[in-house]
Amino acid sequence: MSNFSFNEFKKILKYYKKFLKPVFFDEVKKNTENFFIVRHDVEFSIERAFELAEIEKKELKIKSSFFFQITNNSYNPFSYENKKIIIGIKKMGHKIGLHFNYKGENSVVKIKKELSKQSKIFNQEFDNNYSFFSPHRPSKSKFLFKINQKNLNNTYEKKFFNDFREARKNKNKTIYLADSRHEWKYLHPLDLDLRIYKKVHLVFHPDAWSKKGYSKKDNYSLLKKEKALEFNKTLLTETDYL
């Protein structure tokens, strides 16, 4: 079984489902003892997000949270085509929210203002009321881990995120595992003993996952091809020179 293949994805989630209850962020209360949250931060490909959403719905019977950027340079979530796909993900019963990409001035005031603006635009466009957002690359600014707004909660709140070593020592704390940059930096999710650890926040970047599963380099090559096809399709519908 290849790393980052759909089969591996299914194997991970089946393992978690066997021991823990899949929940959305807003279902985790102070006294919730047994849960896992599946979060998807979508950086490049809405189509790949859709594929994972379908696997979760049809094969795994799991509902999860998908976060989309509105300021990146790889996709436009508001295009007619992409909007349809995102609404399709929502209709499957998954939750959607803003993946907050901020490149402006590093001050709390500026970040808060931009966060309010972006989330308002996102929620308005998708008629959405999930009160969670996920910051993109929060390690770039310490504020991004902490910022919350009225009716808008950060997926890095203490309930959902702790230093890995601390959480490993204290099983009352939620363990956070992410596949950032095509690697499980802290621990592979299948290597966590779920008979002991009962609170887990799993982050998948759908862009990294494919049917066969590839290395980082080959995965990006395939992603580039997928994007080229998408652009070609757009050209075919928008021009008559081809």
Residues that bind Zn ion (CB under 5 A): 41, 136
- Choice between 136 and 199, CB closer to Zn ion: 136
Give the shortest CB-161-to-Zn ion separation in angstroms: 14
The residue number whose beta carbon is nearest to Zn ion equals: 136
Shortest gap between Cβ of 101 and Zn ion (angstroms)?
7
Q: Shortest Cβ distance from residue 71 to Zn ion (Å)?
A: 11
Pick 136 or 201: Cβ nearer Zn ion: 136
3/180 with CB nearer Zn ion: 180
Q: Using N-to-C axis directions, what is the helix angle for 46-54 and 216-238, rounded to 10°? A: 110
Task: For the CB of residue 136, give the shortest distance to Zn ion in the complex, in Å.
Answer: 4
Nearer to Zn ion, 44 or 173 (CB): 44
Q: Nearest distance from residue 137's CB to Zn ion, in Å?
A: 6
Closer residue to Zn ion, CB minimum distance, 41 or 179: 41
- Among 158, 140, 51, residue whose Cα is nearest residue 101: 140
Least distance from Zn ion to the Cβ atom of residue 191, Å: 24
Distances (CA, A) of 201 to 66, 170, 211: 13, 15, 23
Nearer to Zn ion, 159 or 205 (CB): 205
